[in-house]
Structure 1
Amino acid sequence: MTPRPLPSRRLFLGMAAATPLALTLGTGTAQAATSAYVMCYFTESTSLGEGTDYGLHLAVSQDSLNWMPLNQNNPLVTPTEGDLGLRDPFILRKQDGTFVVIATDLKGTDWTYVSQYIHVWYSTDLRTFTGYHRLKLHDMNTHAWAPEAFWDAGRGQYAVIYSAVNDSGHNVIMVNYTSDFLTASAPQVFFDPGYDVIDGDMAVGVNGYNYLYFKKDQTLVGARSTSLDPGSFTEFTTGVAHGGTEAPTLVKSATSSTTWYLWGDTYTPNGVFYAWQSGDLASGSWAALDQKTYTQPLNSKHCGITTISSSEYANLVAKWGTPTWNRLKSYNYPARYVRHSNFVGRIDEYPIDPPSDSQWTLVPGLADSSGVSFQSVNYPTRYLRHYDYQLQLDVNDGTSTFAADATFYRTAGLADASWASFRSYNYPTRYIRHSDFVLRIDPISSTTDQQDATFRVGY
């Protein structure tokens, strides 16, 4: 087997189009109207140093596009068997309304490590995780990468699909069936189009079709079938990609009966997520979303996304808390974030290594508590302040001049009122803006100036 750069992630949303706001779980069990989402992932930084962790991470969102990490972007639980780490986690809401979490048994990027097992946890609410064990899927001398599960109503069992190399000599999508995620049937080939495919992601029961998205030749491609039988899926789309892309994740909008999103991940450490939108899943046509509209969790890799109720969202935030830090995204360069480099304030393209260079604690203004000051997360004695109108990261010397230079008033975004702009405390005609990607304070007059001075405060 020729190892590929990274194993990847997908998602199942068992949501019939006829009931776009409710997830049917089975007789007598129905989840309340879905109005929020939870994402599971692991983290990797470019250098595989700070910001890298192969445990289970969660983030939440109310629009499925902009995400807030839970537990300060630290893992909620970490495997204690196998390779002692996970990749490609996936959350399924079971027929009884509780959750099961499954993941690849692999820590890091040693593609020579072979495990026929996947990690498994149970959870009633994603606040506690119980019953940890590994589930063996096959006896072949190959991996069991990127597992996903869905309910096969015709069989009355859950299907677990994953990427493996079988007798064909290339990666195919395999399937095992289980009732309890403790034992599983013998493996079968679920999808083998005759070429290498990985990262199967399912959308079940959408207007009479079942959809399988997967990675083919560094692009995301869809197949479909009117049944869930192994071997029944036929490719029907051309590939979409942004560079080399893997980990397709289909997400049904909770507020629209027709809108779907497709997430993909570049297969590099600290991969970049890209998203596409479709108004008709059956068309197989996807339009790239502007990066202004979505933000992935910091250092997130190979995600799975599951719908949850508003009360489940609130309970997760209550349990795990909101981040104590923020990131600031540029409005007109949305691939770039505010960071310090050699103690100079600037905007650079994500991923940023170390990631803490782009994390800020927004504290009450040093000169006026109704304003805001930007405290560095990794240099907590230093703040962004202007000097000769350029922003730099300096140690707070306790003077009134420093406090004034480091204080700004947050206003509605000059280019978009739903974003933010920051007016200088002691030069009130000037705003923080970027110029040649370096941050400074300037008077704002033109449309370009307004865009340069507008940022999204998120995570």
Structure 2
Amino acid sequence: MTTSRRHFLGMAAATPLAMSGALALGAGTAYAADSAYVMCYFTESTNLGDGTDYGLHLAVSPDALEWTPLNQNNPVVTPTAGDLGLRDPFILRKQDGTFVVLATDLKGTDWTYVSQYIHVWDSPDLRMFTGYRRMKLHDMNTHSWAPEAFWDAGRGQYAVIYSAVNSSGHNVIMVNYTSDFVTASAPQVLFDPGYDVIDGDMAVGVDGYNYLYFKGNQTLRGARSTSLNPGSFTEFSPGVAHGGTEAPTLVKSLNSGTWWLWGDTYTPNGVFYAWQTGSLASGTWTALDQRTYTQPVNSKHCGITTITTTEYNNLLAKWGTPAWNRLKSYNFPARYVRHSDYVGRIDTYPIEPYKDSLWTLVPGLADSSGVSFRSVNYPTRYLRHYSYALQLDVNDGTSTFAADATFYRTPGLADASWASFRSYNYPTRYIRHSNYVLRIDPISTTTDRQDATFRVGY
């Protein structure tokens, strides 16, 4: 993004982080200089069509809540063996400071596909990926789903955990040990509560405990142990869910005692939800307001890892920020601005086709200090008002069209950290939603101000 573009949009776009002081996680999973986060994921659209990709995707964030997809939300690397696709990726910073990427060997949703292997890449900086291989975990006639890893200091090895059907006949969390992510020890059962569990995620060494969160009975549930020994974990948290929820991801704030728990619904183009707590030991979680976080579009089953300021800035420099934006509603934060049958409106995510909710914000057609909203999937069309209603029309080159399609960004009328958009040629009117349809209206009430406030993000 150029300086001039950022100036006229005033966007909350991803920008380089200034060097910060030393920060460390209580879980012992972050380096002293870590100051930001990277998310890995794959993508699925609602109908498994456009927007679906079973390669490794990355996004970055300074706060672990608002995310900037890298490489235009395209994959940065894709498996070349096994099922030729991945699900459930995970990034671990190894003891030497470099990274290893693990992922399920599965492309798509054929749950009958059995792989005794997982995908593995090495990376010094998440800008290049080398040494691609598959690592065999077992000889059983079952899958190896959602692999993750952590350093087991007592063993002096990495533990690789994953979901598989053991002799119990249901899914359990397995563990293998490795020093090189090339070969692994024989599998052991890490955790089996007596019912089907998948998607294990660990927080190691937090106030004397090791925490394991997993999907069980359609919820995100917690177990813990004072050791890392297989079989030592016992349930202690009844868990949380938003409908059927899977893929728990524990994240520690880098500047407070807050922990977040991310999860997503187990459907194509799943919706991420987040909860927070001030103490893992409590086992209790409070749902976060969806205003406070935004998942990358079409993202599924994420992993989140801390990174340094330099790594954050280098990832942005290497892969770039998206050329498009999404606009989230302030008072209906599950809804985003989109066009449907050429009508401007706000609809609940996920949106199909998803590109209906992507916008290229360009200098205003009537005044370059303003902004116009050009459709990504209909690039000759812009949002413009007509009889005060917003619709998606082809730019006819007239001054009237240019004026109708130009708006001035202002601090959000309901929240100054968000944005509102004032009409160029009707300066007493702002873009707002009414019954989910977009229009320009005068703004006077608290509800009006909320209806006219949006977050410009990705």
Q: Normalising by structure 1, what TM-score? A: 0.94
Q: Deviations over 1:52-86 (max 9, x none)?
A: 00000000000000100000000000000000000
After the TM superposition, which residues 376-395 of structure 1 pair with which residues of structure 2 at under 5 Å, given as runs? 376-395=375-394
Secondary structure at the aligned position of 2:263 is classed as strand
The separation in 1 between residues aligned to 2:434 and 2:407, in whole angstroms, is 18
Could you tell me which amino acid in structure 1 is paired with residue 391 of structure 2?
A: Q
Q: Deviations over 1:347-372 (max 9, x none)?
A: 00000011100000000000000000
Q: Which residue is equivalent to 2:193?
A: 193
Secondary structure at the aligned position of 2:120 is classed as strand
Q: Which residue is equivalent to 1:180?
A: 180
Q: Does 1:59 align with 2:59?
A: yes
Secondary structure at the aligned position of 2:175 is classed as strand
The separation in 2 between residues aligned to 1:36 and 1:305, in whole angstroms, is 10
- Does structure 2 conserve the Cα–Cα contact (< 8 Å) formed by 1:364 and 1:371? yes
The separation in 1 between residues aligned to 2:109 and 2:340, in whole angstroms, is 28
Count residues in correspondence. Answer: 437
Q: Which residue is equivalent to 2:287?
A: 288
Deviation at 1:32, TM superposition (A): 4.0
The separation in 2 between residues aligned to 1:126 and 1:292, in whole angstroms, is 29
The separation in 2 between residues aligned to 1:439 and 1:48, in whole angstroms, is 29
Secondary structure at the aligned position of 1:212 is classed as strand
Q: Which residue is equivalent to 2:323?
A: 324
Q: Which residue is equivalent to 1:70?
A: 70
- Does structure 1 conserve the Cα–Cα contact (< 8 Å) formed by 2:423 and 2:430? yes
Could you tell me which amino acid in structure 2 is paired with residue 259 of structure 1?
A: T
Q: Does 1:373 align with 2:372?
A: yes
Q: Which residue is equivalent to 1:414?
A: 413
Kindly report structure 1 stretches of 4+ aligned residues shifted beyond 4 Å: 21-25
Secondary structure at the aligned position of 2:240 is classed as coil
Could you tell me which amino acid in structure 1 is paired with residue 118 of structure 2?
A: I
Could you tell me which amino acid in structure 1 is paired with residue 289 of structure 2?
A: D
- Does structure 1 conserve the Cα–Cα contact (< 8 Å) formed by 2:28 and 2:205? no
After the TM superposition, which residues 9-408 of structure 1 pair with which residues of structure 2 at under 5 Å, given as runs? 20-21=24-25, 31-256=31-256, 258-408=257-407
The separation in 2 between residues aligned to 1:320 and 1:36, in whole angstroms, is 16
Could you tell me which amino acid in structure 1 is paired with residue 143 of structure 2?
A: H
Secondary structure at the aligned position of 1:194 is classed as coil
Deviation at 1:346, TM superposition (A): 0.1
The separation in 2 between residues aligned to 1:168 and 1:159, in whole angstroms, is 22
The separation in 1 between residues aligned to 2:57 and 2:277, in whole angstroms, is 28
Secondary structure at the aligned position of 1:319 is classed as helix
Structural RMSD (CA): 1.2
Could you tell me which amino acid in structure 1 is paired with residue 434 of structure 2?
A: S
- Structure 1 spans left out of the alignment, 5+ residues: 1-17
Q: Normalising by structure 2, what TM-score? A: 0.94
The separation in 1 between residues aligned to 2:59 and 2:117, in whole angstroms, is 26
In structure 2, the CA distance between the partners of 1:43 and 1:235, relative to structure 1 (3 Å rule), is same
Q: Which residue is equivalent to 1:14?
A: none
Q: Deviations over 1:102-135 (max 9, x none)?
A: 0000000001110000000000000000000000
Q: Which residue is equivalent to 1:444?
A: 443
Secondary structure at the aligned position of 1:198 is classed as strand
- Does structure 1 conserve the Cα–Cα contact (< 8 Å) formed by 2:250 and 2:259? yes
Q: Deviations over 1:114-163 (max 9, x none)?
A: 00000000000000000000000000000000000000000000000000
